[in-house]
Chain A
Amino acid sequence: MPARYDRRRATVVAFDGLRWESPEAVVINTSVVAEALLRREPEHAACDELLRRLAHERTRVVFNRLLEAELWEVVFNHALRTHTGQPDVRHSRFRQDARRAAAAKLDEAICAWNEMLAALDWQCVELDEVADAVPDLMCAYGLQSYDAVHAATLLRSGVTDMVSRDAGFAVLLPEDATLHTTRRRLSRTRARRRDACAG
């Protein structure tokens, strides 16, 4: 226990830290699920271990349907890039050979995600259930619309724990959102929260 309790620090924690405890329920966003599914990403091990723990400890995992669309976007675009060798996918997505290769990877991702869901206690919030809150969250916190969807999912579902690798959610109020990120991103996320609270 630090000598002086700091709520802003206490509400940003590392899920790959030694003393991390799984909450009863979390809202999860795309950055963590994608990293868990993609074996060669730098934080794959931490995110994979997190989801194993959430499954094992029967934590309720809440996500917005948008997560799935974003996940398909990650996999599809990267498969396009891998197939064509071109970093920019704006043109390659109209090539049939590239789309065929990307479709195979996308099928693999959909199967993997469905298998993962079979092991989790999960709850999907539809986009239209939170869409009306998006403009308010954009105006109040400066969130991008996609991020505002995930933030609205947190606020509407009554959960106060969000698992994300995106430090941008640190702008949410500490009483509304305890953020769970990786150790690597802890300092940056705490700094964002400190700045947001100070502003």
Chain B
Amino acid sequence: MPTRRPDNVRRGSLAEKLRERTVKAKVTDPEEQKKIFDRIGLDLPPGANTVRRRTRY
């Protein structure tokens, strides 16, 4: 099972600041989400996913 640290975020800490900045999904309807994922995507030839010149994931 995935592990998770205990929820012990201090007030005013960086972790608290980061949590406040979470952006909630604007599209929460599952059907609308499905439409987004069906729509997006790029048709580049295979072999595109290479970030660094010598590194292929």
Contacts and interface: CB of A to CB of B under 8 A. Distances in A.
A115 B40 contact: yes
**Which secondary structure characterizes the binding site on chain B?**
loop
Contacts of A78: 44-45, 47-48, 50
Interface string B1-35: 11111000100001100110111111110101110
- Size bracket of the B interface: 35 or more
A24 interface: yes
Contacts of A42: 46
Contacts, number: 143
Contacts of B52: 146
Given A55-B25, A119-B25, A146-B51, 18 more contacts: A21-B1, A23-B4, A34-B51, A44-B41, A55-B33, A56-B33, A75-B42, A75-B48, A105-B44, A117-B23, A119-B26, A121-B24, A123-B21, A129-B14, A156-B14, A158-B15, A161-B3, A161-B4
14 contacts: A21-B2, A31-B51, A34-B48, A39-B42, A40-B44, A52-B37, A55-B37, A78-B44, A82-B45, A108-B42, A115-B40, A119-B25, A123-B21, A160-B5
